[in-house]
Structure 1
């Protein structure tokens, strides 16, 4: 047996706006995000970057102006062989010039994930660039993962211990699901074990899809799983 801390890490670090109360809320959020998403493969050399208000970077080649997320900025730096940590310390205009210099010598393509910004603000782009990945990147959408889980496992729920909004997490970068089945324990000799699983995914290349089912002895209020096997 072993103790698992994956769910505890999610519970301890996720901000409130990345937590969901029920499995009914998560597919709505991830589904809306997929419907607002566009995938586009473009030459790196054709990308144009500009400094935006507040020190952010925007992308505008032959497409509508889009604001880069921090994660997308890091990915683009990797493709341009540029140090993201250092560029983050520079004024946006200079960082844009450095990145354009890096990608100008790259003859490859990149797959861009663009999401329409749901909160429209004056003088800000309507689109968000969420990821730069390789053209061959096979994207698994979070909403498809959630729907498959809901269809396959109908008697599992997020843990009811540990406070509100535990077990279901999603951000602009990744997703993590922790479901338990306490009402139908598995008997092994004189012991009774609950059934549960972790599932995680990323639409942006931050992680690969993963699923870990296991039996467990106890889950405490801070989401540490004790006696898993």
Structure 2
């Protein structure tokens, strides 16, 4: 049986909101403040393409910790490389995977980064040879040089960032207004009006990805829902939204939060009516 979903009529312009009836949530704002330009995307297709490239170049495998060899580079005394069983060439750990590797062997990463590479290599090698868990899982990527993107326990279950973005695109299209789900508009503080129709730029986008995670915030602010009347007789309006996040290298777990909200300001603070989260 086909189910027909009806939506409120689309807004043709901005609409008045009362943020005093909502709770301010700064989760998206913290992402907005911290993301450099090269981690900001203007559409879901651009974001999917970027994270898809690294998935296609990735290789995951499980190896014996004691069989990994840590070497200090002869060409660069400050650089370490790892020789993994079955690997074609040395792996260059990223900042993130180096911290994971230190954590696995019980070495403080901040201290290890201060050591000369040969001394750090000796400490890491000792830790790997005496690692309690015999096996580790590596995630490697060939991007001109072969990088070690992640080192985790052998039971780590990876969800690719590409797969999360693809799932979101199934309902949100490009995230730019081609479906009801889109990058949000902005609250005009002078008139207390939420304007859904704002150009998507590096400054307004809410589609983010770094080398260790993805974060997406979308809403349906062109179909506000009337929840009653305000004290002055005007309609009390809110709209639907959600954000989702993931890390394929182990910096966080897959999660999604959905909610009703009343407005989104320029620095991406949300005034939320109700929140539900799944981690």
TM value normalised by structure 1: 0.92
Aligned to 2:207: 168
How far did residue 134 of structure 1 move? 1.0
Asked if 1:111 is matched to 2:101, the reply is: no
The correspondence for 1:58, drawn from 59, 78, 81, is: 81
Aligned to 1:138: 157
Asked if 1:221 is matched to 2:266, the reply is: yes
Residue 188 of structure 1 aligns to a residue in which SS?
strand
In 2, the alpha carbon distance for the partners of 1:127 and 1:200 equals 26
Asked if 1:201 is matched to 2:226, the reply is: no
Aligned to 2:108: 83
In 1, the alpha carbon distance for the partners of 2:28 and 2:53 equals 25
In 1, the alpha carbon distance for the partners of 2:155 and 2:252 equals 16
Unaligned ranges ≥5, structure 1 = 121-125
Aligned to 1:36: 57
CA contact (8 A) 1:4 1:228 kept: no
Asked if 1:20 is matched to 2:56, the reply is: no
- Deviating more after overlay: 184-193 vs 167-176: 184-193
Aligned to 1:148: 167
Structure-2 change in CA distance of 1:25 and 1:54 (3 Å): farther
In 2, the alpha carbon distance for the partners of 1:140 and 1:6 equals 22
CA contact (8 A) 1:56 1:68 kept: no
In 2, the alpha carbon distance for the partners of 1:156 and 1:183 equals 9
In 1, the alpha carbon distance for the partners of 2:80 and 2:167 equals 36
In 2, the alpha carbon distance for the partners of 1:210 and 1:156 equals 18
Aligned to 1:47: 68
Structure-2 change in CA distance of 1:195 and 1:50 (3 Å): same
Cα deviation code 1:114-156 (max 9, x no counterpart): 0111xx3xxxxx1110101111111000111011111023421
CA contact (8 A) 2:83 2:91 kept: yes
Cα deviation code 1:194-224 (max 9, x no counterpart): 2111100000110000000111111100000
Asked if 1:100 is matched to 2:125, the reply is: yes
Unaligned ranges ≥5, structure 2 = 1-21, 173-178, 187-197, 230-235, 275-279
Asked if 1:8 is matched to 2:33, the reply is: no
CA contact (8 A) 1:111 1:133 kept: yes
Residue 189 of structure 1 aligns to a residue in which SS?
strand
TM value normalised by structure 2: 0.76
For this pair of structures, how many residues does the alignment match? Answer: 222
Aligned to 1:123: none
Residue 138 of structure 1 aligns to a residue in which SS?
coil
In 1, the alpha carbon distance for the partners of 2:51 and 2:64 equals 28
In 1, the alpha carbon distance for the partners of 2:51 and 2:266 equals 27
Structure index of larger Rg = 2
Residue 215 of structure 1 aligns to a residue in which SS?
strand
How far did residue 54 of structure 1 move? 6.5
Moved over 3 A (4+): 160-163
